[in-house]
Amino acid sequence: MPRPFAQPAASPGTLRFSVLGPLTVHRGDRALNLGPLKQRVVLATLLGSPNTPVSVDTLTDAVWHEDPPRTARKNLQVYVSALRALLADDGPDRPRLTHTCGGYVLRVAEDELDLLRFRSLVREAEGQEPRPAARLLRQALDLWQGPPLGDDLRQSSRLAEEAERLELRHLTAYESWAEAELELGGAPAVVEGLRDLVEQHPLRERLRSAWMCALSRSGRQAEALGAYDDYRQLLARELGLEPGGAMAARYRTILAGDGRAAAAAATRPPAARPPAVLPPDLVDFTGHGEELRYLVDLLEDDGAGRIVLLSGPAGAGKTALAVRAAHQLGDRFADGRLCVSLRDADGRTRPLSAVLAELGERTGQRGLSGPEAWREWLARHRVLVVLDDVPDERAVRPLLPCGGRGRVLLTARGQLGGLAPVHRIGVPPLGTAESLQLLAGLVGQGRVRADREAALRIVRACGGSPLAVRVSGMRLAVLRHVPLWEFADRLTDPAGALEELTSGDVSVRRWLAHGWEALPQEWGRAAVRLAAGTGEGPFGLTEAAEALGCDERNAVRVVEALIDAGMVTSPCGEVTAHAAQYELPHLIRLYARGSGLGTPVLTPG
C-alpha cells in the first residue's frame, strides 16, 4: 500500500493527500476509504486546483464528460456531502470543503498535499547553486509514488489530461535534477535513471543531452556518441530536422574526448541564467490557474507545436497570463525569453520593419535583413518569444517559425483563424470568487469584508475582466474616502460605468477603443445592433437575427465574424448553429451601446 509522502510525525487527526501516484488520503497513518469511482473523480478534480473554486460544470465534465445525466447536479451534491463527512471538517469557522459563488473549494495546506509540496520545492530550486538545487529537486522527486492519479481515474478524460500535465512537470524536474547533479560530478547516479526516461520520451532534447553527458562522464563515450546518432536519425525521420546547436556542441565535446572539460564540470560555476526581456510578473496574479498549467505544459513539451495562441476580449488578462508563463519557464529556454508588442501605444498596428528591428536588437541580431533572417535565427535557438496584442494574421505570419527550436506565444483578441497549425487557448472571464480575491488584494481584505455585498456588485459590474477589477481596485485604493457601495452605484449606471474605470493613465475605455477602431466598420455596426437588441447574458441565433434585422443564415455569418474578431464569445462544444448560445462580454456591450455608430451592413464582407 502506498504511504503518504514523507512528513514529520503527524497527530492522529492530521490529513495527508496524495495525487503523485494513486489517489490516497491518510488520517495519521490510516488510509481512508475514498468511496466509489465517481466520488474519487470529484476529489481528484478538487485536488488538482487546491484552494481554488472549481465550478459545477468542471466537476460535471470530469465525472460524466459528454453524457451527464439529468440528475448530475444532485449526484454531485451527494458526492460532495460524502467527502465532507469523510474529511471531517475542522469546525464551523474553517470548513475544509465549501461552496462559493465560483464553485466548490477544497482547502488544503502545503504540507497536506504532495502536489503543493512538489511545486514549492521546484520553485525554491530555481536559480539556486547546483548543490542546494539538486537537494531540493531530489526531495521533490521523492514525493512521487508512481504514475499520477493511478489508472482508474484516467477513465475521466479531464483527469487523464491533468495526469499528463503532472507527468510533464515530473519529467522537467527530473531533467533539472540531472543537470544539477552532473554539475556536482554525480554522473553515475544519473545515468541509469535517465535510460528509461529517454526510451519513454525519445524526442526530448534536454533529456537526451543530459543522458549523453552522464554517459560520457561515466567513461562510456562510445555509448554517448551512439545516443547522439540515434537521436539525429530519429529527429530526421520523424520531424525532418537536425539536432539543435546545444546538442551538436555536446556531441563535438564528447567526440573530442576532452576529459579535462568533464573533470572541471564539478567545480565550474553555474552558467548565467538565459536573458529575459519581459515585463514584470504581476505579484497579485489571480485566476486562470487551469489555463496557466495547460499553457506551461504545452510550451515545455518538445513534442507539441511551436505556436500557441491566447485569445480573449480586451482586458481578459491574456498578456498577464503569457508573461507569467514566460517567467515560470526560465529554465526551459536556454537562449532566452522576450516579449514584443505588435501594436503601438495608440493601438495602431506597428510596421513589420519596426517589429523586426526590435526583435533584432533584443536578440543581438541588429540589422536583420528581413523575415527570412529572423525565422532562420529562431529555428536555431531555444528561445520563447511572446508576440503580444496581435491585430491579425497578416501582421504576425512573417514572424512565425517554420520549424526548429524556437517557440512563439501569441496573444490576440481574435481567433486568428488563418493561422495553422496553432494551439489555441481561450482566456475566459474571472469567476466571482477570483475577482473578489483580486479586488481584496488591492483595497484590503478588511474593506471588502466590511461591505461584501458592495464588493460583489463591483466585480460583477466588471464582467470578469481582470483589467476592470484591477482598475477599480487601484482607484478605490486612492479614493479611501469613497465607500464601496457608492463606487458600486457608479459602476452599475450604464451611462457612466466606463468613465469610472479609469485610474491615472490606465483607462478601460481607451483599451476597448483600440480594439474597436481596428474593426471593419460593418462589424462594429453589427456589434452595436447586437448590444442594443439583446439582453445582458447569452442570446441565441433567433435573437441575433432579430437584433441585426436579417435572416438567421446571414446572422450566423455576422456573429461568427464577430467571434473571430474577439467581440463575441460562444460556449465550447459541438452544437448546431441554431442551438448555439452567444454572448457579448459586459464591457464590450457597454462600449458598443455608447459608440453611436449607425445602421449596420449585414454581411461581414
- C-alpha cell of 495? 451611462
Question: Which amino acid is present at 365?
Answer: Q
Q: Could you tell me which of 462, 425, 408, 470 has the C-alpha nearest to residue 585?
A: 462
- C-alpha cell of 133? 538545487
Nearest-angstrom CA–CA distance, 35 and 20: 19
- Label residue 13 by pLDDT band (50, 70, 90): low
Nearest-angstrom CA–CA distance, 316 and 319: 9
Mean pLDDT of the 39-58 span: 90
- Label residue 16 by pLDDT band (50, 70, 90): very high
Lowest mean pLDDT among 151-160, 175-184, 243-252: 243-252
Helical residues (DSSP H) of 276-339, grouped into ranges? 289-300, 318-328
Helical residues (DSSP H) of 334-451, grouped into ranges? 352-362, 371-380, 393-396, 432-443, 445-450
Q: Could you tell me which of 427, 431, 454 has the C-alpha nearest to residue 105?
A: 431
Model confidence pLDDT, tens digit, residues 529-582? 888 888 777 888 888 898 888 888 888 888 888 888 878 887 654 444 556 788
Give the model's pLDDT for residue 496. 80
Residue 577 in contact with residue 551, Cβ under 8 Å?
Answer: no
Mean pLDDT of the 324-337 span: 83
Give the model's pLDDT for residue 270. 42
Looking at the predicted structure, is the pLDDT value of residue 4 above 80?
no
Looking at the predicted structure, is the pLDDT value of residue 261 above 60?
no
Plot region of 537 (φ>0 → left; ψ -120 to 50 → alpha; else → beta): left
Q: What is the DSSP letter of 6?
A: P
**Can you list the positions of beta strands (E) in 137-292?**
276-277
3-state secondary structure of 226: helix
User: Which residues contact residue 86 at a Cβ distance below 8 angstroms, ignoring those fewer than 6 apart?
Assistant: 25, 32, 33, 34, 35
Lowest mean pLDDT among 56-70, 98-112, 359-373: 359-373
Residue 430 in contact with residue 317, Cβ under 8 Å?
Answer: yes
Nearest-angstrom CA–CA distance, 67 and 311: 28
Looking at the predicted structure, is the pLDDT value of residue 265 above 50?
no
Give the model's pLDDT for residue 335. 82
Nearest-angstrom CA–CA distance, 179 and 40: 37
Nearest-angstrom CA–CA distance, 447 and 453: 11
Q: Model pTM? A: 0.57
Give the model's pLDDT for residue 302. 62
Looking at the predicted structure, is the pLDDT value of residue 325 above 70?
yes
Mean pLDDT of the 393-412 span: 87
Give the model's pLDDT for residue 595. 61
Q: What angle do CA 360, 321, 273 make, to 5 degrees?
A: 50
- Label residue 598 by pLDDT band (50, 70, 90): very low
Nearest-angstrom CA–CA distance, 95 and 109: 13
Mean pLDDT of the 84-90 span: 77
Give the model's pLDDT for residue 361. 84
Give the model's pLDDT for residue 151. 79
Query: Pick the residue with more confidence: 461 or 256?
Result: 461
Give the model's pLDDT for residue 579. 63
Looking at the predicted structure, is the pLDDT value of residue 284 above 80?
no
Give the model's pLDDT for residue 410. 95
Q: How many residues does the chain have?
A: 605
Question: Which of 2-11, 88-97, 275-284, 489-498 is the most confident on average?
Answer: 489-498
Residue 388 in contact with residue 340, Cβ under 8 Å?
Answer: yes
Nearest-angstrom CA–CA distance, 370 and 56: 50
Model confidence pLDDT, tens digit, residues 428-448? 888 888 888 889 888 888 888
Query: Pick the residue with more confidence: 536 or 35?
Result: 35
Residue 4 in contact with residue 14, Cβ under 8 Å?
Answer: no
Helix, strand, coil content of the chain in percent (nearest 5): 55, 10, 40
pLDDT over 70 percentage in the chain: 88
Q: Could you tell me which of 162, 206, 208, 166 has the C-alpha nearest to residue 62?
A: 162
Model confidence pLDDT, tens digit, residues 494-528? 778 888 888 887 888 887 887 777 777 888 888 88
Model confidence pLDDT, tens digit, residues 175-225? 888 888 888 888 887 887 788 888 888 888 888 888 888 888 888 888 888
Nearest-angstrom CA–CA distance, 459 and 491: 9
Looking at the predicted structure, is the pLDDT value of residue 273 above 90?
no
- Label residue 45 by pLDDT band (50, 70, 90): very high
Looking at the predicted structure, is the pLDDT value of residue 44 above 60?
yes
594 C-beta neighbours (distance < 10 Å), count: 16
For the chain, give the mean pLDDT: 81
Looking at the predicted structure, is the pLDDT value of residue 99 above 90?
no
- Helix, strand counts (H, E) of the chain: 27, 13
17 phi/psi in degrees, rounded to 5: -105, 140
Query: Pick the residue with more confidence: 148 or 564?
Result: 148
Lowest mean pLDDT among 46-55, 172-181, 460-469, 530-539: 530-539
Nearest-angstrom CA–CA distance, 173 and 117: 13
Give the model's pLDDT for residue 599. 40
